[in-house]
Structure 1
């Protein structure tokens, strides 16, 4: 079992790798929704209240935290002891971290409404993020741009909400750099974005590209390669997505397992049985960070999947972003 091997790996500090993440950033406010004296615990309950004619609800503020997919991934890699550079939209005092940050403008503002099973996010977009381009990234980093893009692992995130990412990845591909692992977590993409993304990722052939998605995003990618009615986690479907993207691997992190298809075949690692507490928002980003940094460190795919699962499960358990020792103890207690 790979979790036994992971416990052994996590018994001592990990050899650090150089991780870069970009380009988003958000200030996230978390709320509970109340209908009178009762907490609205699910989307279904909210919809029922609306259908019944309820037009007034009470918001109870729970917490404010630094957010954004690239921010979450950077925090996870830093917690594991890696050498991290986050280049995002960070013009806010909440982004005060003990690793290197470079800001490219104002963050988005996200209101996360907490439900028992699946949160809902309302996003106030950042004008800086909407007009972001590769030139913005290059301007922020200056002469360090190529060194950043040649880090051992890059986590590129939020294709869905960053209009300039398609063109920017084309610009990155054109530089023909000596790339490492390039992990793309696209966020909640549309059907059109799914097709565009696969075409663009295929151009990043100097990197070890990895597409990391949740189950809903996997359905969009499956449809983009002609498998709209098939199981998006089926080996043939994932391999069709991988081939369309000319990727090293495609990974689906779902409730029960993380599944990957690479040129060597399909592998799946069950998730850790951890009870959700406050929120799952941000867990997938931590999965991608754990996966990407582990692949960059030369780990086998199934062990890297187990690492991604461990990072996500620890966060979902409500204990924050896990360090090496945190994850060691959590995996030891919850491994299958």
Structure 2
């Protein structure tokens, strides 16, 4: 059982790896949505209120936190003791961390409406994010050193138009690459096809790993010619893996994480935990746990279990877990 092995590995302590994360960043404000005196607890209830003619709702502020997919991934890797460099859009005092950061401009502003499931995010993009390019990364840091970190988390393709050309720029530098984990965010159908095409440029440069949720997997499967209805089917995931020239494709779903890998299909059930405040950011922590574990030489079942553990710990309301935190949590909740 992968979780038994994970508890033992965490008890032994983790050897740190060098992790990089880029290129987004956001300031996230979390709210409860209220309709008069009643809290709106679901998308369906919100839609029902709109359909009934309700045109005014109240936002009750809960908390403000540093966000963005790269920020969340970097925080997770740092919590596990890794050597982390975050290159993001961090021009705001909320982005103060104990690990290395470089900023490439202003972050997005995100308002998260908290529901019992499936939060809704209202995003105000920044001009710096929409105009970002590889040149900004080159200006911010020693790009050759950054590109040769053991694991890179490259995120938010859906909101970063500059990432397409950037993958070509990265490949042209021919780095001695490790794991290149791509968590693309909420892809459109057109973006899914563009992403698959762009990732082929990294074939032979990195061990490319796609880390996606169910919706993103369906769009990628459709773009690869396998049909949306078979998003986590083994043939569909193998089709996505082939179309991207990727080493692996991992779908972190509600009941299990499923991976298409060079040695076959891997399925690791999720840990059964109760959701606390939000699930927003859990997938990014999954990607960080997965990427750093593969970079450390772990086998696929163990690395996928690590991703599940990072996500479950966060969903349960405990924040971003250290190795010690995760050991106790997995020990208590493993199937």
Match of 1:202 among 196, 200, 221: 200
**Structure 1 residue aligned with 2:79:** 79
Deviation at 1:228, TM superposition (A): 2.2
Q: How far apart, in 2, do the equivalents of 1:126 and 1:321 lie?
A: 26
Structure 1 residues 184-195: aligned runs within 5 Å: 184-195=182-193
**Structure 1 residue aligned with 2:334:** 335
C-alpha distance after superposition, 1:121-146 (max 9, x if no partner): 000001001000000100111xx110
Q: Contact 2:219 / 2:228 at 8 angstroms: preserved in 1?
A: no
Structure 1 residues 287-306: aligned runs within 5 Å: 287-306=286-305
Match of 2:177 among 172, 176, 179: 179
**Structure 1 residue aligned with 2:99:** 99
Paired residue total: 334
Q: How far apart, in 2, do the equivalents of 1:230 and 1:62 lie?
A: 37
Deviation at 1:230, TM superposition (A): 3.1
Q: How far apart, in 1, do the equivalents of 2:194 and 2:248 lie?
A: 18
Structure 1 residues 151-190: aligned runs within 5 Å: 151-190=149-188
Q: Which runs of 5+ in 1 are unaligned?
A: none
Deviation at 1:165, TM superposition (A): 0.4
- 1:33 and 2:36 matched: no
CA RMSD between the two structures = 0.6
**Structure 2 residue aligned with 1:5:** 5
Q: How far apart, in 1, do the equivalents of 2:115 and 2:227 lie?
A: 29
Deviation at 1:12, TM superposition (A): 3.2
Deviation at 1:229, TM superposition (A): 4.4
Q: How far apart, in 1, do the equivalents of 2:102 and 2:309 lie?
A: 28
Q: How far apart, in 1, do the equivalents of 2:228 and 2:159 lie?
A: 26
Q: Contact 2:92 / 2:107 at 8 angstroms: preserved in 1?
A: yes
**Structure 2 residue aligned with 1:308:** 307
- 1:270 and 2:269 matched: yes
C-alpha distance after superposition, 1:85-135 (max 9, x if no partner): 000000000000000000000000000000001100000001001000000
C-alpha distance after superposition, 1:26-57 (max 9, x if no partner): 00000000011110000000000000001111
Deviation at 1:234, TM superposition (A): 0.4
- 1:44 and 2:44 matched: yes
Q: How far apart, in 1, do the equivalents of 2:149 and 2:324 lie?
A: 25
Q: How far apart, in 1, do the equivalents of 2:146 and 2:240 lie?
A: 28
What SS is found at the alignment partner of 1:63?
strand
What SS is found at the alignment partner of 2:320?
coil
Structure 1 residues 232-247: aligned runs within 5 Å: 232-247=231-246
Q: How far apart, in 2, do the equivalents of 1:274 and 1:12 lie?
A: 24
**Structure 2 residue aligned with 1:66:** 66
Q: How far apart, in 2, do the equivalents of 1:173 and 1:247 lie?
A: 14
Q: Contact 1:230 / 1:237 at 8 angstroms: preserved in 2?
A: no
**Structure 2 residue aligned with 1:228:** 227
Deviation at 1:253, TM superposition (A): 0.2
**Structure 2 residue aligned with 1:325:** 324
Q: Contact 1:287 / 1:308 at 8 angstroms: preserved in 2?
A: yes
Once the two structures are overlaid, the 10-residue window that deviates more, 8-17 or 314-323, is 8-17
Once the two structures are overlaid, the 10-residue window that deviates more, 223-232 or 25-34, is 223-232
Q: Contact 2:74 / 2:86 at 8 angstroms: preserved in 1?
A: yes
TM-score, with normalisation over the residues of structure 2? 0.99
C-alpha distance after superposition, 1:121-179 (max 9, x if no partner): 000001001000000100111xx110100000000000000010000111101111110
What SS is found at the alignment partner of 1:76?
helix
TM-score, with normalisation over the residues of structure 1? 0.99
C-alpha distance after superposition, 1:176-224 (max 9, x if no partner): 1110000000000111110110011111021000000000000100110
